[in-house]
Structure 1
Amino acid sequence: MNKSIADQIGLAQQAASGDSLARQNINTLIHPIISYQTARFCKRFCFENRYRFACTLEKPIAPASHDALLCEWGNASYGWMLNDLVGSKRLLKYQAKFDSSLYNYLYNIGNSIAFYERWKDWRFNGNVHVPTYIQQLHPNAGKVFYGLRAEESIAIIAQKLLCSEDEIQQLSREIIIILTRKRRLHLLDPPATISLTELNNGHGMAVDDYSENDVAFYDESPEHSESKLKLHSAWSKLTPVEQFVLEALIIEQQDAEDVLVALAKLNISIKAGINADKTNRQQLYYFRRKTIAKLNELMN
């Protein structure tokens, strides 16, 4: 282990033990990650807040009237992320596996799906949205979805819904299959924070016992880092609407109908001369293709 990595482990341990200077250094180190993710998540779920409150992000989403109250979500999100990423327990788990730097360790956690789901649980008080394609399976599909997420047994879910266990078993299979196909199976993970760095703690717990794995990977190659920088630069040149559509349809793989409803609710038109509530799937998919082509052009 090189001296730099050893120093970073020592810094993490000092901060975890309450050293104010070490804590300040780590807070400075993690600021770019938290600032970026706070802005990214806030923009995605701002909804009507931008019209009612004054945004407190470093780069405000939209200008507000002078008498508008400050929006609470920006600062609250920053505080939650700071507590999640650099809490004492998290810092003590850092062991520099694979010679990963402290920054890279925290970066990978902050950009993980598990971190995103924890933030949504906090932001929406644990009320995870049931995807439309799940709701359409059966009238009880949403309740079964929540039951599976709460890790309730088939027998308990059946008893609550006054259904047979066979019926609930079949519906559960259908839910799991469709989530797997759409790469959204993580939606069934219960909110919990567990690290693979504890696998060797002598408690004999298997990997399958963990609902989340926070793993720090090897430091990125220069080529990979350069590609990500190009993508971030190109992404920043897209309009907020273009970013929203790509995030919703590609990154989150939301159903097109959900995206159309969100656009109509916010009165955002993606085609000149067409009202937001009159936009159809074909126009939405065309807008997505055009935006992807624009992103590729900006990157090249």
Structure 2
Amino acid sequence: MQQNNITDQPVPLQQALAQQAANGEETARRQVNELVAPVISYQSSRFCKRFCRENKFNYSCTLNPPVPQSVNGSALCEWGNASYGWMLNDLCSNQRLLKYEGRNGAGLFAYLYQIANSLPFYERWKDWRFGRHIHVPTYIQALNPRAGRVFMLLRSNESTENIAQTLSLPLLETEQICQQIVLLLTQKRRLHLLNPPVNISLTESTTDGTTAHQQDLADYDESPENQQQKQQLSDAWGKLNPVEQFVIEALTLEEQDAKYVLQALNKMDISIKEGVAAKDTSVQQLYYFRRKTLAKLAGMMG
């Protein structure tokens, strides 16, 4: 079934389709996966490229279109396909599909589209991409049935003895698996995967057990007050000039390193302080500019 055929159906039929897919009906599941495929392709490409810094120099990109690269014949980068798989699992999980109620006439595609473009969705992807919920490379999984769990425990800085005890494995076997993992990552120049960077979430932490996964309801399912707030933010954002938007996006939303932002401003010869050339702008001046812009944004929102 084509996407436009599903979106043209009455909302109750789309609800039934979502419930059938959640209940494991194969045809319904395939139709839902096909429905959301364009959104996932776009977002996986957008997110992955945003944080592709070193990989593009060492691996062949699997995105469509791929990231331009200078190395030919290198190993395939796993992050593009892995991001697609993560987004498919998140958007089309049973829990997600069963939550679809078609409020205010929202179709299934619109419901999933709004979630895929929400901040909690972006934050969850970053938690997975950089945090503990990392994709275990397939070449690690192929080493041993327990290699995936050993890999995750190594990332947590667990000792070999603790790993062996946790997994109920002989110490000698555990040491061999650890050595194989380290050797393979070294050969593939991906030893950094054992040392994940700290990722700061832009979403608020919760204390009542509510997860971000439960918070990112589609716009159609939000209260009028929340929709009004988002519209105010959108209107205020539109009043910022392109340089202000660029700095907020780079430093706050994308969490880029300040030196890379300064390099970009210098390359475009854009000054953020009167009387100071772009090439002479300091990190302190950049952060001060961001602070002023955030205050300006808050002021325009009332």
Q: TM-score if structure 2 supplies the norm length?
A: 0.52
| Partners of 2:23 and 2:94 within 8 A in 1 | yes
SS in 2 for 1:51: helix
Code of the residue aligned with 2:205 in structure 1: it is: L
Picking from 124, 128, 150, the partner of 1:122 is 128
| Within-5 A mapping of 1:124-203 | 124-126=130-132, 186=203, 188-189=205-206
Report whether the alignment pairs 1:19 with 2:29. Answer: no
Cα distance, 1:83–1:29 mapped onto 2, change above 3 Å = same
Partner of residue 271, structure 1: 266
Give 5+ residue unaligned stretches, structure 1: 129-183, 191-207, 220-227, 229-237, 289-300
Give the RMSD, CA atoms, in angstroms: 4.2
Shift of 1:11: 0.9
Partner of residue 261, structure 1: 259
Q: Deviations for 1:219-276, whole angstroms, at most 9, x for unmatched residues?
A: 9xxxxxxxx9xxxxxxxxx9xxx99756313645x5xxx6323458xxx5543599x9
Picking from 27, 30, 48, the partner of 2:36 is 30
How many Å separate the matches in 2 of 1:272 and 1:107?
35
Partner of residue 219, structure 2: 217
Partner of residue 51, structure 2: 45
Code of the residue aligned with 2:132 in structure 1: it is: G
| Partners of 2:56 and 2:68 within 8 A in 1 | yes
Report whether the alignment pairs 1:10 with 2:20. Answer: no
Partner of residue 62, structure 2: 56
How many Å separate the matches in 2 of 1:277 and 1:259?
17
Cα distance, 1:187–1:218 mapped onto 2, change above 3 Å = closer
How many Å separate the matches in 1 of 2:210 and 2:131?
22
How many Å separate the matches in 1 of 2:267 and 2:259?
18
Partner of residue 173, structure 1: none
Partner of residue 114, structure 2: 108
Cα distance, 1:48–1:278 mapped onto 2, change above 3 Å = farther
Partner of residue 92, structure 2: 86
| Partners of 1:55 and 1:74 within 8 A in 2 | yes
| Partners of 1:109 and 1:214 within 8 A in 2 | yes
| Partners of 1:39 and 1:57 within 8 A in 2 | yes
| Partners of 2:111 and 2:218 within 8 A in 1 | yes
SS in 2 for 1:57: coil
How many Å separate the matches in 2 of 1:272 and 1:119?
30
Picking from 279, 282, 286, the partner of 1:280 is 282
How many Å separate the matches in 1 of 2:9 and 2:54?
50
How many Å separate the matches in 2 of 1:33 and 1:119?
14
Shift of 1:280: 3.2
Q: Deviations for 1:35-80, whole angstroms, at most 9, x for unmatched residues?
A: 1111121122112111111111111122242221111000000000
Cα distance, 1:110–1:101 mapped onto 2, change above 3 Å = same
| Partners of 1:100 and 1:217 within 8 A in 2 | no
Q: TM-score if structure 1 supplies the norm length?
A: 0.52
How many Å separate the matches in 2 of 1:69 and 1:3?
44
Work out the percentage of aligned pairs sharing the same amino acid.
48
Shift of 1:277: 9.5
Report whether the alignment pairs 1:70 with 2:65. Answer: no
| Partners of 1:43 and 1:61 within 8 A in 2 | yes
SS in 2 for 1:188: coil
Cα distance, 1:55–1:185 mapped onto 2, change above 3 Å = closer
Shift of 1:217: 2.8
Give 5+ residue unaligned stretches, structure 2: 1-7, 135-200, 222-233, 235-241, 270-277, 291-302
Aligned pair count reads 192
